[in-house]
Amino acid sequence: MSDPFNLRLKTLIVATLKLDGVQPADIPDDEPLIGSPRFGLDSIDALELVLAIEKEFGVKIGSSEESRHALASVSALADYLRAHQPGT
C-alpha cells in the first residue's frame, strides 16, 4: 500500500503534467520519473514539476543537481520534501 504522501505527490504529477491515461496508482514509488520510457517525462516536464512542487509545498529546489536527486523517483521526492519542509 502506498504512503498517503506519495499518493499526493503522484496526484500532483499526473495533474501538473497532464498524463493522459495515467492514474496516480500507476506510478511506482521507486521508478525513475525522468527518462522513464513508461511515462516519457523530459527536462521540460521536470521544470514544470519543480515549479508545481515549489508552489504546493513551499520548498525551493535549487540546482539542477538537486532537482535530479529530488526527482529520482516518487520516494526520493517524498524524502526530499520531508527533509526540506519549512519549519522542520
- Say if residues 13 and 51 touch (Cβ distance below 8 Å): no
| 41-85: pLDDT as tens digits | 888 999 999 999 999 999 998 878 888 899 999 999 999 999 998
Average pLDDT over residues 1-27: 91
Q: Is 45 helix (H, G, I), strand (E, B) or coil?
A: helix
pTM of the model: 0.89
- Determine the Cα–Cα distance for residues 26 and 14; give it in Å rounded to an integer: 10
